[in-house]
Structure 1
Amino acid sequence: MPLHVPPAPAPALRSVLAALSSPTAVREARTPALRSVQGPLSPELPLPVHVLDRIVPNNGTPYTRLTGWRFLIRSGDRAVAAAETMLTPDGWTFSHFFEGPYIASTERALRQAESMRTPFQPRLLSIPELYMLTLWLHGDTDADASAGTPEPSDFLVPLAPAPPGIAAHLPHRVADLLPVMTLRLTSAPLLGSPA
């Protein structure tokens, strides 16, 4: 089944397009791959980025909030970087370009999700307490992509690199992975926030 990729807010897309057309923004980006690309660059696969602020023990509802939209930046047939936008008091604005292992890992997880039989709305879910980023496959394909929390029947696909003891690229139902993450939080020191 195809994924139902939600449309990004138009101002978020415009801000990324403006950054890509700015020689200064591209030249000053800390992304060698982006600076060295010859030819056109295009933002694709906009995914809302949610942060899991609190894992609630005993099957409580986790608390999430939207922090931005992430676009994979393509050159030809491959993603060479990503662009992130953020919401400010003046609306959506470009935040930064970046590269690293989460780019290829996101593409791989999206291909994996495409092969599943159930339709999903893809989102990214960051779990700063575990320094973990997941592809969140939300079961309600018509839902507002900027709101909501992971439902027990939704899937989370940990992106590589994943924390020790949690396998990357293995889809887990939220109801199964949340207890594992809760256990990890009670037994592991805090590490920071993923990209």
Structure 2
Amino acid sequence: MPLHVPPAPAPALRTVLTALGSPTAVREARTPSLRNTQGPLTPDLPLPVHVLDRVAPVGTSATRLTGWRFLIRCHERAVAAAETRLTPDGHAFSHFFEGPYVTATERALRQAETMPGSYQPRLLSVPELYMLTLWLHGDFPADGAGGHLAATDLLVPLAPAPPGIAAHRPHRAADLLPVLTHRLTPKSVPAPAPLLGSPA
């Protein structure tokens, strides 16, 4: 399917380019692959990062934009990622990082390109479950900063996914959100039985 990657806000891209051009920022990053890379580093595939603060049924699950994430490429290979955050003054560089979510994001995007339909790719974080998904939003002309999670949107959990949730398997939001809600519902603990000889 064609993926319609939303354009990143120019200030967000500028902050990443400035950080990449700063030897101090790159040297102090906890990303050996970024520090040890030989060749030009370029930000690519900007994805808006939304957070699902409270898991609820589709239509009532509010997401909020927290920033933008860029894959950092060197010679056509993603070696790290850079994240910006929204502040009261606009976009600010947050940090570089590497690890499984970088390769998982690339894999999920390649997987999404083979699916039928047209979508806008985003990232959706579920902090309560330490879970990150590729959010394939059906309203692909929409502004990447806004929009609601629709029942027919697809969510692809990235690896590592929470136990019992298959990574890299696309789910309709209407099907996955009830599973997440069940995971987050506190289990009722039965009251202990009274001891024999003790007052009830």
TM-score (norm 1): 0.93
1:118-173 Cα shifts (integer Å, max 9, x gaps): 01000000000111000000001111110122100000000000001100000000
Residue of structure 1 in register with 2:39 after alignment: 39
| Deviation of 1:183 (Å) | 0.8
Structure 1, unaligned stretches of length 5 or more?
A: 189-195
Residue of structure 1 in register with 2:157 after alignment: 158
Q: Distance in 2 between matches of 1:175 and 1:56?
A: 10
Q: Distance in 2 between matches of 1:128 and 1:86?
A: 16
The RMSD of aligned alpha carbons is: 1.1
Instruction: Tell whether 2:122 aligns with 1:123.
Output: yes
Q: Distance in 2 between matches of 1:60 and 1:72?
A: 30
CA contact (8 A) 2:59 2:149 kept: no
Calculate percent identity across the aligned residue pairs: 76
Structure 2, unaligned stretches of length 5 or more?
A: 188-200
Map residues 1-195 of structure 1 onto 2, 5 A cutoff. 1-57=1-57, 59-186=58-185
Residue of structure 2 in register with 1:192 after alignment: none
Q: Distance in 2 between matches of 1:186 and 1:149?
A: 23
In structure 1, what residue type is equivalent to 2:175? Answer: D
| Deviation of 1:61 (Å) | 1.5
In structure 2, what residue type is equivalent to 1:2? Answer: P
Q: Distance in 2 between matches of 1:60 and 1:42?
A: 37
> Number of aligned pairs?
187
Q: Distance in 2 between matches of 1:187 and 1:164?
A: 17
Give the number of the structure whose alpha-carbon radius of gyration is greater: 2
Which 4+ stretches in 1 moved above 3 angstroms?
A: none
